[in-house]
Amino acid sequence: MMVVKAGGGKGIHYEAVCDEIAALQQRGEQPILVHGGSHLTNELAEALGHNPHFVTSPSGFTSRFTDPQTMGIFMMAYCGKTNKQIVEGLQQRGINAIGLSGIDGKLWVGKQKSAIRVVENGKTRILRGNLTGKVESVNTDLLNSLLQSGFLPVLCPPAMTSEGVAINVDGDRAAAITATAMQADQLVILSNVPGVMKDITQPSSRISEIRRTDLEDISQTFAQGRMKIKLLAAAAAIDGGVKRVVIADARLDNCISRALQGEGTSITA
């Protein structure tokens, strides 16, 4: 069992990801695909005149502030166009994909964090009404039943609270808890960076292997922005029993094969 997370940043080509998923399945793997959609969400929000609003927490994490209108746009980008175009791409490769968001069949249930502390112009303040949170449980019965029937699950945010409210959740961390819950051996996190870099301007500075015990140190020393969250996700997956997490570049040909062969950054216990 392998969970593959394909980011939704600029430059990610889902056709190539579909090719790779098809190749994985032909080699007898039974992957679950989790995808993002942030770049399309930003483009759509701008086109609709509801500009994306990103906020930064006091500890330096950046996230999308999700009001109800943004949630509607988010659903259009993630669950609509991106999810269904990936499902269509897989169907065209003979794979019986089935696309679900975290609110379908209570797939991903978690807690909302409505009020968040944000830093704006150097000052910390509280913002309320944020439809965001964190996945705490995965409906493994649903996923196992789909896998047993020969479907390939294609999953994306939002998740939902136990009261049924849709919440925006981080896709990397949702993929990590899914990998843990499904007892996956490997989690491959693909995005538009080559891995963890000592210097993001120097491709040769990629760190190819990280042990779990060194993860926090390396994150603090080298990781910036979204990479910090990917390393949190990797830590959660390894702590949850996943044997190996690979952070790799989705923009390369044969991106998953390359990731599994050691390109990117490999994290193990």
Q: Return residues touching a copy of itself (CB under 8 A).
A: 44, 47-48, 72-73, 75-81, 83-85, 87-88, 90-94, 96-101, 103-106, 141-142, 145-146, 149, 151, 158, 160, 163-166
31 vs 194, beta carbon nearer a copy of itself: 31
Query: Residue 229, Cβ neighbours under 10 Å: how many?
Result: 18
CB of 160 to a copy of itself, least distance (A): 6
For residue 260, the minimal CB distance to a copy of itself (Å) is 26
Our CB check for a copy of itself shows the closer of 33 and 90 to be 90
In whole angstroms, the minimum distance from the beta carbon of 191 to a copy of itself comes to 22
* Between 87 and 215, CB nearer to a copy of itself: 87
Among 18, 5, 2, 1, smallest CA distance to 175 is for 5
Q: Which is nearer to a copy of itself, 86 or 188 (CB)?
A: 86
* Pick 86 or 215: Cβ nearer a copy of itself: 86
**Least distance in Å: CB of 72 to a copy of itself?**
5
Residue type, 189: I
The minimum distance between CB 178 and a copy of itself, in angstroms, equals 17
